[in-house]
Structure 1
């Protein structure tokens, strides 16, 4: 609250706590604070709540999930830690607390500062200059390894070397890789490898661990031993995210021991493919050269040989040509015979079967005769029936039964007596002749 505001104003608790929080955050900037963890609680939300204490005081701390997810180790009660935190006030309860942004084990800050000091010092001396880096041998016959005989990294390196480049002989320079005397032993092992000069490349390897576990490789003596070694050095220390002073001093830094073995040796399968390809290319070139030389030799020989040898060669050539001609003629005749055989088979397949044709003609002839006879009989019966019906309709047949046809004088057939008058001349046709008559009387029959 500023002095210009009236003193009679009454603040709410929320306003008071907010002003107090702002005052604390302005007065106390973000800082590193060391102490012991107690009352650690991991909430279901992912946030961490704990108390940071020393012999004289304690303070509540909160580390939210978006911050604690970057801590790559598991804090527990009783651990000595250093936290980077902002002093603040939890307004809801008016509690003073620290909002933690980062956490590390106690002492790591000093180690990191020492790391930077050594790195800067050696960098100024030029030990890390890229111009000092030496190329690795393409196909080393002897590979040296500086590590502990009991380290898992040694097993990984040996397995990789056996699979990639079994031609290389491996020389182990044993040393401790962790502990108070490890740095001196590592530097001595590198110096021994350089003095003995029995290997073409030197691998400095160790498995993963924390900064304190890898600290021996941050020693200045180790870096100077690497820089002074006449043999190219490949470092493979820890994991991909781990960096040591030895990595900067080495001629090549690999992320893991296995990767260091891979970087120092060629791939046997790839080299085998290359050798096979070169062998095929060399064989092709040699064959081509030999053929060319043979042709040149033949040309010289033709110019230098005796006439009798020429005649003999020509005789042999004629004999060869005659033999080839006979073979070609025989092959041609064989092909012609085969073609004739195929044509004969096709002709035999296409030629009609006369016996079968004759049998079929005889059968058809019988069937035709039977059909003709049957048709004629059927037509004769039809004709007889029609003749009977026609005969019954013939006027002469009617006349034979005693009937007659009466015609008028003009020859027209009379059907009605009213068509004539008494005294008209008539002509009556009978079955066997005609009669002349005169109409005496006309009588018309009435229908019954």
Structure 2
């Protein structure tokens, strides 16, 4: 039998309530028109909040796992803004001390993600000397015979920053030569990435492998009911126009990311969460200048938690008919696997949406999907089989249940006690 409820599903209701109930969040919600406030609460409850510990633990594990397949030293660099038309090693190198490590972060920069990744890299190189190189210069790469370059980031949103950073390295004739002779490989590692960002980085000339711990949830991946989905995007546009960054009303490059790190809010998140007001309007962001203040930081759980499967599947129903019977009783497959089957039965096959709903990382979710396929509950193309339907206790009388589920569903826990009157 598969395992039961995943450990990070415990107390998810209490965790989901924390952010909307902070003082700043209540003030942020009060800025929305009355008819939009219910959806605004849903926006907060749909965010994936990543704590310092969850971020560092996942990213360190990812680096160590990928490095274990490399025979030889691995060079680690925290991804940062870089001019793609200039040689990174010449710009950042010290001609008087050519073997000195390169600066991980530029002076006076926004040190959110870069500093966090740089600190992680520094600690890793201390614990595995000889295997990991901390921002090595070109001369150090040559001397130590590095066999891989890992560029490390918290999130690959549009892919622009990572691509330009790699391009700056690619300007080095030595790097291009080593790569052409298969002496060194590039890998872009991040805690999370959007599908668009992965495609962008993967298309670089050096063909870097993009490896992440979790798919980045976006507000398009959130399993919204039909009547909510378009309203969410309209709200980002309407209220985003009040901010000083109207061109980022859907986030940088329209990414619509729905993930916040405790060390900072990515600019891939819609502007209403982090951008200050324009000169002609009033707006107070929840995460000012993309920073996380102390009270909001207290809402970040130690681990990413699973969503309530009953809330996911019964969002639009006033009774239990929308929820397969297996969800309510002791699920033979485990609650997470049963939830996956129920979502797939509705036609939801996005890995990001499935990861988001059950709170698993990519490796765990892939393993569970493989097991469901191996046991005949799902086809290799992630379609429900007759055996899978039997596990959900579907019969002729319950055939209408799926039709009553949201077309995209709802992978957020929405606290009913915070709902206002209907009509938003």
Measured against the shorter chain, the TM-score band is: under 0.3
Higher-Rg structure is 1
Bigger relative contact order, structure 1 or 2, given CA contacts below 8 A and separation 6+? 2
Give the TM-score taking structure 2 as reference length.
0.23
Give the TM-score taking structure 1 as reference length.
0.22
Which has the larger strand fraction?
A: 1
Which has the larger helix fraction?
A: 1
